[in-house]
């Protein structure tokens, strides 16, 4: 199923089994512009400075009530898709600079898009980033990099396999935010999502049982670099057998033995069958429940001319105490 997000918003929200969606109206938009203007007033402000992040968190309480209400609802029950789509956020408009071209690109400056992303993300949970990935920056640029076309990571442009973000990590984020600043030239790059809530009914009990056993090893993705301890065998499904959490990365998870391999292939087919594809437009923020919903990307053709696809990403945690042992000085960076 492909959803072109320039289609009629009401129809999108009303269709069954569509992600929860929210579009800012004109008064909301004015309020957002005002909050973003405050957070971007100082040209020397840096997103990763504690003071700025603290101000963004406090300011997020002034977001439109309707938006805060749907976020609160999504946190309690992320629906069948595990995706909340928020449309119409300010991302810089005509003043948007060229799409970055450097590997490992992050946004340290308090730009309008970074401010929008941090404001909304702060209502989902506490912000976090990994020291080993994208240098621990809270706002990470997701852009195609010349020479990395076939890379199974966010710098590639060939199709990216479905994955839970940082599935190998004990402290993987609870939510992942992907904010579109600029789409690809051909307007075809699609964010793919698939939730275990929709795929589970397609799996026989025997397969579910195997997926609940520690017969799968998920390695760290290439974006994490080397130097991590070896991964141990874990289940792919955990929690309530009728409504489990999922942890798998089809580029990095290794099944142990033929039975586990067959079960993982069945899981992959079931997820493909229920997958949705979204062609995000500038100002669209997709928030994924990373316990339930995998994501990937269809292929596209970058030109490396400064006008390529550009997303910004954030990671959110529901419980700051859970990650405290790996956050030095109670900061936002996990190591
Ligand atoms: O490019 C995309 O749409 C998603 C890339 C991705 O998986 C990520 O940034 O985590
Ligand atoms: Fe990802």
* 257-268 pLDDT per residue, tens: 999 999 999 999
Element (H, E) at 177: strand 175-182
Q: Does the pLDDT value for residue 25 go beyond 60?
A: yes
Instruction: Report which of 80, 99, 301 is spatially closest to residue 188, judged by C-alpha positions.
Output: 301
DSSP 132: T
- Beta bridge partner(s), residue 293: 195
Q: Say if residue 77 is exposed, middle or buried (CB neighbours under 10 Å; 0-12, 13-18, 19+).
A: exposed
Which of 144, 279, 297, 315 is the pocket-test mutation for ligand 1 (most atoms within 8 Å of CB)? 297
Q: How many domains does the chain have?
A: 1
The residue range of the domain holding 315 is: 2-223+231-334
Place of tokens 């993982």: 264
Q: Whose CA is nearest to atom 5 of ligand 1?
A: 154
Closest ligand 1 atom, residue 154 Cα: 5
Among 19-28, 240-249, 316-325, the least confident range: 19-28
Q: Whose CA is nearest to atom 3 of ligand 1?
A: 191
Average pLDDT score over the chain: 93
CA dist 9 and 19 (Å) reads: 12
Give the CATH number, domain containing residue 290: 3.60.130.10
Q: Does the pLDDT value for residue 8 go beyond 80?
A: no
pLDDT attached to residue 18:
67
User: pTM here?
Assistant: 0.94
Q: What average pLDDT score do residues 19-47 get?
A: 96
93: its two tokens:
């408009």
Q: Does the pLDDT value for residue 237 go beyond 50?
A: yes
* Ligand 2: centre distance to CA 166 (Å): 8
C-alpha separations of 247 from 58, 162, 163, 200, 304 in Å? 32, 11, 8, 13, 34
Place of tokens 């130097």: 227
End-to-end Cα, the chain, rounded Å: 38
């Amino acid at each position: 199923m492909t959803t072109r997000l320039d289609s009629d918003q009401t129809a999108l929200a009303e269709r069954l089994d569509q992600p929860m969606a929210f579009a800012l109206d004109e008064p909301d938009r004015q309020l957002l512009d005002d909050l973003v203007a405050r957070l971007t007033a100082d040209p020397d402000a840096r997103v990763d400075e504690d003071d700025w992040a603290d101000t963004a968190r406090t300011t997020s309480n002034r977001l439109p009530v309707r938006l805060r209400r749907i976020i609160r609802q999504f946190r309690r029950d992320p629906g069948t898709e595990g995706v909340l789509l928020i449309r119409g956020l300010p991302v810089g408009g005509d003043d948007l600079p060229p799409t970055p071209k450097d590997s490992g690109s992050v946004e340290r400056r308090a730009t309008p898009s970074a401010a929008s992303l941090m404001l909304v993300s702060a209502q989902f949970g506490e912000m976090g980033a990994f020291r080993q990935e994208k240098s621990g920056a809270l706002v990470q640029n997701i852009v195609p990099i010349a020479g990395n076309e076939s890379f199974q990571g966010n710098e590639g442009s060939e199709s990216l396999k479905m994955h839970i973000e940082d599935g190998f990590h004990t402290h993987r984020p609870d939510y992942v935010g992907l904010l579109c600043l600029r789409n690809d030239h051909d307007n075809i790059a699609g964010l793919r999502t698939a939730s275990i809530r929709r795929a589970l009914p397609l799996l026989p009990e025997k397969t579910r049982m195997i997926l609940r056993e520690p017969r799968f090893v998920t390695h760290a993705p290439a974006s994490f670099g080397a130097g991590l301890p070896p991964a141990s065998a874990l289940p792919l499904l955990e929690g309530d057998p009728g409504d489990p959490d999922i942890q798998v990365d089809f580029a990095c998870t290794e099944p142990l033995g033929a039975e586990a391999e067959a079960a993982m292939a069945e899981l992959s087919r079931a997820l493909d069958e229920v997958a949705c594809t979204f062609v995000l437009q500038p100002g669209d923020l997709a928030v994924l429940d990373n316990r339930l919903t995998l994501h990937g990307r269809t292929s596209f053709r970058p030109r490396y001319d400064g006008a390529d696809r550009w997303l910004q990403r954030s990671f959110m945690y529901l419980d700051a105490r859970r990650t405290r042992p790996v956050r030095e000085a109670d900061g936002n960076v996990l190591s």
